[in-house]
Amino acid sequence: MKFEDYSIAAEIKTSLAKLNYRRPTDIQFKSIPPILKGEDVLAIAQTGTGKTAAFAIPVINQLHMRKIKGRMDGIKCLVMVPTRELAIQIHQVFETIGKHTRVKSFCVFGGVEEAPQIARLEKGIDVLIATPGRMFDLASRGFIKLDRIEVLILDEADHMLDLGFIKDIRDIMTYLPKKKQTLFFSATINETIKKLAYSLVNNAIRIQVSPKDPVARNIDHFVTYVEMDDKRFFLERMVKENENSKILVFVRTKVRCERVQKAMGRVGLEAKSLHGGMEQEDRKKVLDLFRKGEVKVLIATDVSARGIDIPSVEFVVNYDLPELSENYVHRVGRTGRGREKGQAVTFCSTEEKEILAEIEGFLGKPIKRLEMDRDDYSQTIDFSAESHADWKSLMNEHEQSLLKRRKKKKK
């Protein structure tokens, strides 16, 4: 649906067209209709999702359509924000989108002289954007009248709580009429935020949007649950099933790097290590071999692989989960360069599940699971050349002991 098709004032559509906003973003698509209807909204949305226009468009529309002459009867919409920067930014959005309407907005924040703010407030405004401290100060001295507020917006509520504004928010509530529309926006949600939100909204429409996916679209990435001691068998299987592909394997430490390289060596697979403990010259040699495809498997630590561009890496394997969530994005971004398609798989053990949850929190959405049934899991281990070797040596041992026993009996 395009903005042209929305039943909002033509004056707003003109501004949206000038801004080159043709279609609503996800959060706008979900929140504009309920806000226009006068419903309370509880939205989990990060900066960058278009959340400012998601509330500015319907609020400006409702105020503009009322055709009230003069605005001496008081502020109609109050936007509470945590910082001065955000206050200025939101004010600009209201100014730009409301440019051709009769809606007037203004912003107040602390740390600057209050006289010019008071003078502007006295002229009358429809929308006030403010940080809680300065607003409470001006309201308690009668410079801001909040008894005509119809719409209350709390933006970045989580940030406001972090900055310790909870008491100011509660105090300001006492100045506001009981009956009003409340729109609550937060980038994250936890028990404290939920408590605050539910104490402010009434039968709210709940909306959640994910931030823009930080992992490129051409990368297919998934997680499979593999126990720590079994990971080498799964890597072996992957390498054998994709013998012509370049595979970049990430591990946590240089010791792990060498250990995995040895494990691959035991099953007859050539792999090279790349870590910070190596001489520059050796690192360069290894990288060249991998680049040319003379070595297909490279086992690397995060730091050593940062910033290097290796073309045509078909697979990235997160053999260990990264300790820093953003490294997940850096690692999987090593495949699928440019227009190529890439695949990334993460081996997650039971003890790494917490790290996985953190990464998914960072990405704003779950990573696909590659479910493996028990048979498939145990077959991967059974078919390993390493376990065959073990099995052979077990058989040998068994045969040897049988021989010994037979010899003893003969005696």
Residues near ligand AMP (CB under 6 A) are 21, 24-25, 28, 47-53
Instruction: Tell me the residue type at 178.
Output: K
**Side-chain half-sphere of 39: how many Cα atoms within 13 Å?**
15
CB of 56 to ligand AMP, least distance (A): 9
Q: Work out how close the CB of 90 gets to ligand AMP at its nearest, in angstroms, rounded to a whole number.
A: 8
Q: Tokens at residue 77, please?
A: 């919409």
In the bound state with ligand AMP, the residue whose beta carbon lies nearer, of 47 and 349, is 47
* Rounded Cα–Cα distance for residues 312 and 318 (Å): 17
CB of 195 to ligand AMP, least distance (A): 25
Distance CA 298, CA 240 (A): 14
Q: How far is the CB of 24 from ligand AMP (least distance, A)?
A: 5
Q: ∠ CA(173), CA(178), CA(179), 5° rounding?
A: 130
For the bound state, the minimum distance from the C-beta of residue 324 to ligand AMP, rounded and expressed in Å, comes to: 25
Structure-derived torsion over alpha carbons of residues 24, 157, 207, 103, reported in degrees to the nearest 10:
-40
Q: Which two tokens stand for residue 177?
A: 């009429």
Residue 315 contacts residue 248 (beta carbons within 8 Å):
yes
Task: Classify residue 110 by its DSSP letter.
Answer: S
Tokens standing for residue 342: 């890439």
CB of 92 to ligand AMP, least distance (A): 10
CA dihedral for 387, 393, 396, 402, sign (positive or negative) = negative
Q: CB nearer to ligand AMP: give 141 or 212.
A: 212
Task: Report d(CA 172, CA 159) in Å as an integer.
Answer: 17
Which residue's CB is nearer to ligand AMP, number 50 or number 58?
A: 50
CB of 49 to ligand AMP, least distance (A): 5
Our CB check for ligand AMP shows the closer of 17 and 119 to be 17
Q: Pick the closer one to ligand AMP by CB: 48 or 116.
A: 48
Contact 59, 35 (CB under 8 A): yes
Nearest to 338 by CA among 319, 317, 361, 311: 311
CB of 23 to ligand AMP, least distance (A): 6
CB closer to ligand AMP, 185 vs 225: 185
Strands (E), 19-117: 41-44, 77-80, 105-108
